[in-house]
Amino acid sequence: MIDEIHVQNLALIRDATLVPGTGLTVLTGETGAGKTALLTAVKLLLGARADKDAVREGCSSLVCEGRFLNVPVAAAADSEDAPESLDASEAPATDQRDEEVVVSRTVTADGKSRAALDGRMANAKQLAARIAPTVDLCGQHEQQRLMKPSSHVQLLDAWMGAESEGTEAHTCKQRYQQALQAAREAAAELQRVQEASAASSAQLDNARFTLARIGEVNPQSGEYEQLEQSLAKAEHAEALATAANTAYSCLSGEEGALDALYTAAQALESVAAYDAALGEHAKALHEAAYVLEDVSRDARDYRDSVDFDPAQLAFQQERLSAFLGLLRQWGPRMEDVFAARDAAQDLVSLVDDAGARIAAAQRAVDQAEQQLAAAAEELSALRHQAAPRFAQEVTAQMARLEMAESALECQVADLPRAEWNTAGPQAVEFAFRPGKGMQARPLTRIASGGELSRVLLAIKVVLGAQDNVDTLVFDEVDAGVGGATAVSLAAVLADLATTHQVLVVTHLAQVAVRAQTHYVVRKAGENVPETTLDLVEGESRVAEVARMLSGESTEVALAHARQMLADMR
């Protein structure tokens, strides 16, 4: 949910702060005042691409800051553009949420963009992944997505509860997707076995050579690395022993360092009674002697442990040479050698046991397909049952929006097995019937822009609490709307605000009076390229509603505005 947005130097806005309410918040103002600039700010915070043209003229950069509440801890997004999702299907599947997340976005006049999440550097993709799934932008782009039949199955599934953990529909869809993945893996394994069994004689000869060549050396895991270390010591055994002996002699031999150290310590101890500082130095020398004694003893033991064995050295050198030969042919790492051996072994085994392996793979495919068919049938039954009920509820909401003669149909068609995908074994498409007695045709072909806008709003209302999105932002939802339709539209938006935070840019007084929070975007003055954003209450709000009704604040318009606002209390 949006808690607060602060904008600087964006389009006509020099500095503005928006604090939406938890219910319905409206943005009003004269045409050209810059209402949509605030939506641009929201989009930037959701990860939309930066546009240098959005920077206020004469400024070096724009800054958008936002505080969002109840944000999921993790979310997924593949695009650098903020996803404007139609439904909850793209929302992150997690119940873990942060109480507050602060986002900032800076865009310079030369088009460079910087972003931050809770004070840490981020990029647009991270904003889209983290913040965008909580906010739904229901504008022209959303209507364009509604025109894509591929999104219709997501809407139906969201209404069924398929995107909400713990529901029957979610379990059913998850079972289908898991079965589909298992069937794909089984089919891929069958294809691999069949292709391997048909390997050419040259491929088989090469595999047998690989097994024989590597088998001659018979490398063990970790042996090469251990051999490199031990051989280095074996080849330099004499030098290592000599160095250890020299260190031991220098420390513990006649007139060695330890004798000198003890002599020095005793000299200081003899006069420590006259100066305690010298006693401390003597103590330090004794502690140093303990360390040197340990080193001396270890050097002696190391010297005695060195065993130069020419035969063992020759064996290790020959063994390393064999390993290097394998690495030259199948390397560069020993892991590659082992992988080549395993692949060759698998190919030879497949050819030798081709019939049995193919039969086993085919049985696995048959079993996976049976499980998939059962899961698909279960999902299909749920969708076929849900589709008419979903369409009926959307149609009822359309009637509230003065579309009583129109209807939505949700058509579910079973697909042939070859066309099944992760979305399901059916194609779902919405059909629109503009009037009684008229034939329903695909929504993408016959609905007008205004009709699409109202159908979209009806769908949002029907999704209601099933939608995991917290905030809905509407732009142009009231384009071309007036009269009784405006009143109905306002009532529907008010209903939607009982389950979501709703932010609407509107020119309709009927919508404005329904809001719990009302902001006005105004021009700073004549011939001044700047707008201000003001929260209006009391008489200021009355004056704005009157302007929306008649274009000016006449006594009649003011009285009408007061009455409309009073009726909403």
Cα separation, 156 vs 162, whole angstroms? 9
Cα separation, 35 vs 31, whole angstroms? 8
What is the per-residue pLDDT for 74?
Answer: 57
Residue that is written with structure tokens 């099944």 in the block: 420
C-beta separation of 403 from 450 below 8 A: no
What is the per-residue pLDDT for 169?
Answer: 92
CB-based contacts of 325-333 (< 8 A; 24+ apart in sequence): 325/217, 326/213, 326/214, 326/217, 326/219, 329/213, 330/210, 330/214
Cα 536 to Cα 472, 506, 525, 564, distances in angstroms: 22, 15, 18, 16
Average pLDDT per 10 consecutive residues for the chain, totaling 569 residues: 95 93 92 80 91 91 94 53 39 62 94 92 91 81 74 90 84 96 95 78 82 92 88 82 90 86 90 90 91 91 83 86 92 93 84 80 96 96 95 92 89 95 94 88 74 84 79 81 84 90 92 95 79 93 93 88 90
Nearest to 221 by CA among 99, 47, 337: 337
What is the per-residue pLDDT for 353?
Answer: 73
C-beta separation of 137 from 60 below 8 A: no
The amino acid at 218: N
Nearest to 513 by CA among 471, 477, 546: 546
pTM above 0.85, yes or no: no
C-beta separation of 452 from 394 below 8 A: no
Cα 210 to Cα 164, 166, 351, 564, distances in angstroms: 52, 52, 15, 87
| Ramachandran region, residue 87 (left: φ > 0; alpha: ψ -120 to 50; beta: rest) | beta
What is the per-residue pLDDT for 345?
Answer: 87
CB atoms within 10 A of CB 166: 7
Cα 397 to Cα 116, 176, 454, 462, distances in angstroms: 40, 32, 9, 8
What is the per-residue pLDDT for 325?
Answer: 92
Cα separation, 512 vs 27, whole angstroms? 8
